[in-house]
Chain A
Amino acid sequence: MSHAMRFPAFNRHGVLAIYRFEMARFRRTLWQSLATPVITTSLYFVVFGAAIGSRMIEVEGVPYGSFIVPGLIMLAMFTESLSNASFGIYLPRFTGTIYEVLSAPVSAFEMVLAYVGAAATKSILLGVVILATANVFVPVTISHPLWMIAFLVLTATTFCLFGFIIGIWANGFEQLQFIPMLVITPLTFLGGAFYSIDMLPPAWRTASLFNPVVYLISGFRWSFYGTADVAVGVSLAATLGFFLICLAAVVWIFQTGYRLKS
């Protein structure tokens, strides 16, 4: 029994081991992980900000180039969170090295904390880098910095949880790409990343309210410019709701061993 007494209630070393392993993978692929989204985002600024934006009026009192910054950060964060987190758990499933994590004295909570924590760290870093890049092209003001950080962290965590679910569900590399490409990218483009949904005809505006991404982008943009498509409380509630749905799915996965254990 002495051994039982000695095993800590929280496997700190185990969580750190997974976290460090994931961050090491990030460092190895630093170029792809950071440079690609930064270049993509810069292209958006060149096209929408400089070329098209100069001919556009202000949106809700904000110059168009500045207006799209929060949306672009969100777009990059959604994509990168999903791909980082899904890849992080799919790769050991694919190579078979998952056996070690499953046979280790690591609880489901610790496993999610380590994998999702590492993926979220990368996403938040990326968000900050894109924000800095945006600042080079257009003036950016942040009216509510604490809320900005809160939305950033919550969104990164939520989409990393979502990515973790995809990584466990996927049975091939093409399935890893399926949801990000076919669901998230369209929802983001239609979710007000590049425009205010108030600019849409009333019917489309109503339809947009069924798009969960609208609430995420709207809340994040409010933390920058103080203007929003929907009330910020509603945005926050929607973001939290999405987070809880993903969390519930992950709990279910571990309770049933879905796609992890046979």
Chain B
Amino acid sequence: MLGPNGAGKTTLINVVCGIVTPTAGTVQVDGHDILRNYRVTRSKIGLVPQELHTDMFETPWGTVSFSRGLFGRSPNPPHLERVLRDLSLWDKRHDKIMTLSGGMKRRVLIAKALAHEPEILFLDEPTAGVDVELRRDMWALVRGLRASGVTIVLTTHYIDEAEEMADRIGVISKGRLIVVEEKIALMKKLGKKQLTLHLQEPLREIPAALGDWRLELRNGGSELDYTFDAGASRAGIASLLRRMGELGIVYKDLNTSQSSLEDIFVSLVSERA
């Protein structure tokens, strides 16, 4: 889930998890209403909050045992051991949480959220303010969890993170989900491709004979940009080049570029602004 700061990403998560009371509308988790059937929906969900809220005097082992019980599950030490080992917290299981580093505290929160074997995991900006190495670790961890069959909803305002990790992307702006789409489809549908031709001789203006193509002159007429939809089956590049040949416009080089998710995101959000 992508969105600028203050767009409502955390609020949405908190509504689903029961921390914020919705003012309107309904939410269903796996077909169950979050208010009427809150026990079922909440037992399916694990939440990793954005802020590092931990019981400083507790140990990782104590706090994951607490979380598992809180969510109504009977004790299962082998599962908790697996979770702590996967998060490289096993050696620290008897240390006080207050003595752990920031990155470890975040992993403790993830371990707590996984203690009751949830089917859905909410990760609220897990990489905000995290160093590069830890960010890579976090990505690897999320991939591992996804492979184990857990549905992961990750919020971020880092677009590269969404581009790297997501199967589906939702864009939220000013409290509204503007779009929810498979990442590849979203990039295809909204992404633009651009062909840039570096001309031998600068052009003063675009010849009328080339009016069928979306063209733009740049760099004092020495570059000609052709923009087309990334998803279009017939982009018309071949016919454009043929027509240019007929008109005697010579180019010495050409390159194509594709808009990133960032460009798409910025255009989506600014459209609504």
Chain A positions 101 through 120: 1 when the CB is less than 8 Å from some CB of chain B, otherwise 0: 11111110000000000000
Select A7's contact among B43, B66, B67, B74, beta carbons within 8 Å.
B43
B159 CB to closest chain A CB (Å) equals 27
**B70 contacts A17, CB within 8 Å?**
yes
Bitwise, A1-43 to B at CB < 8 A (1) or not (0) is 0011001100111101110110011001000000000000000
Which residue in chain A gives the minimum CB-CB distance to B49?
Answer: A99
- Residues of A near B53 (CB, < 8 A) are 95-97, 99-100
- Given known contacts A13-B73, A17-B70, A105-B72, A261 and B20 CB-to-CB distance under 8 angstroms: yes
A21 and B66 form a contact (CB under 8 A): yes
Residue of B nearest to A106 (CB): B70
B70 and A28 within 8 A (CB)? no
* Contact among B20, B51, B68, B73 with A262 in the assembled complex (CB-CB below 8 Å): B20
Q: Which residue of B lies closest to A17 (CB)?
A: B69
Q: Which of A17, A102, A105, A107 contacts B43 (CB 8 A)?
A: A105
Residues of A within 8 A of B259 (CB): none
B72 touches A13 (CB 8 A): yes
A104 to B152, CA, bound (A): 18
Range, interface on chain B:
20 to 34
| Nearest chain A CB to B56 CB, angstrom units | 8
Assess whether B54 is interfacial by the CB under 8 Å rule.
Answer: yes
On chain B, the residues within 8 Å of A24 by CB distance are 62
Cβ B19 vs Cβ A261 within 8 A? yes
Q: Which of A56-85 contact B (CB under 8 A)?
A: none
* Smallest beta-carbon distance B209→chain A, Å: 62
Output the least CB separation between A24 and chain B (Å).
8
Are the C-beta atoms of B19 and A96 separated by less than 8 Å? no
Q: Is A172 an interface residue (CB 8 A)?
A: no
B13 (CB) vs chain A CBs: closest residue: A103
Check if A202 is an interface residue, CB within 8 A of chain B.
no
Residues of A near B168 (CB, < 8 A) are none
A262 touches B21 (CB 8 A): yes
Asked whether any CB of chain A lies closer than 8 Å to the CB of B80, the reply is no
**Binary contact readout B109-126 vs A (1 if CB under 8 angstroms, 0 otherwise):** 000100000000000000
Q: Report whether B70 and A14 are in contact in the complex, using a CB–CB cutoff of 8 Å.
A: yes
* Interface of A (DSSP majority class): helix
Q: Give chain A nearest CB distance to B118 CB in angstroms.
A: 11
B70 touches A100 (CB 8 A): yes
In the docked arrangement, what's the CA distance between A8 and B42, Å? 13
Are A14 and B72 touching (Cβ within 8 A)? yes
Do the beta carbons of A105 and B47 come within 8 Å of each other? no
CB contact under 8 A between A13 and B69, given known A95-B53, A99-B49, A105-B43: yes
* Residues on A with beta carbons closer than 8 Å to the beta carbon of B40: 3-4, 7, 105
Given A4-B40, A14-B69: A103 and B32 within 8 A (CB)? Answer: no
Q: A13-B72, A95-B53 are in contact. Are A103 and B66 (CB under 8 A)?
A: no
A79 to chain B, nearest CB (A): 24
Question: Smallest distance from the beta carbon of B124 to chain A beta carbons, Å?
Answer: 10
User: A253 CB to closest chain B CB, in angstroms?
Assistant: 13
Chain A nearest CB from B52 CB (Å) reads 9
**Which residues of the partner chain A approach B56 to less than 8 Å between Cβ atoms?**
95
Contact of A103 among B21, B47, B51, B69 (CB under 8 A): B47
Question: Which residues of chain B are near A11, meaning CB under 8 Å?
Answer: 39, 72
Known: A13-B73, A21-B66. A100 touches B112 (CB 8 A): yes
10 contacts between A and B (CB under 8 A): A4-B37, A7-B39, A14-B69, A17-B67, A18-B70, A28-B57, A95-B54, A101-B70, A102-B19, A103-B17
9 other contacts beyond A11-B72, A13-B68, A17-B68, with CB at 8 A cut-off? A4-B37, A13-B71, A18-B70, A25-B57, A95-B53, A96-B53, A99-B49, A102-B17, A107-B39
What is the interface of chain A, defined by CB distance below 8 A to chain B?
3-4, 7-8, 11-14, 16-18, 20-21, 24-25, 28, 95-97, 99-107, 257, 261-262
Chain B residues engaging chain A, CB cutoff 8 angstroms: 17-21, 32, 37-40, 42-45, 47, 49, 51, 53-57, 62, 65-74, 112
- Which 7 residue pairs are nearest across A and B when measured between Cβ atoms? A17-B69, A96-B53, A105-B39, A103-B17, A105-B42, A13-B69, A104-B70
